[in-house]
Amino acid sequence: MMHRSFKMMVIPLLSLISFTACSYLPTASTSPIQQLEQVQNIEALPNTKTNLATLSRSNSGCLIQFTGYFDGGESTETWYFKKNQLKKASSETYQYVVNQNHLAATSKPMVDSKTRRATTFDIQNPDVTNNFNKLKSHFSQNALARCA
């Protein structure tokens, strides 16, 4: 009888230890994004006051983020591609908060989150593909080769 109650205590205890050990083991993490190149004030439509485009790479492919700054707001396009093949593309546009001071850390106006407008691009549309290729052309061949 005593032997049986000992087993009843040990089994749950061992289970608890094994579950705890599993929760402390490192898990496979997503790969960090590595910035490859950044270009500023490229020719883009619609016209922007300033703009910034960044080419980055992760294990799952590459992305270009293009942010254009306008008088009343900003828009960021994100283009995901792998081996020169466009996988998905989208944009987010925000208006700036009217009559607000700039953010001290970045010296840029605050965006009004209530004005967010998100768009998913149709990557089968030739105009979208042409825009992607034009945006890619602003980066060096050396940086783009690291996305292949």
pLDDT in tens, 60-111: 899 999 999 888 889 999 999 998 899 999 999 998 887 666 555 556 778 8
DSSP 8-state code for residue 103: P
Q: Is residue 36 pLDDT above 50, yes or no?
A: yes
Radius of gyration (Cα) for the chain, nearest Å?
25
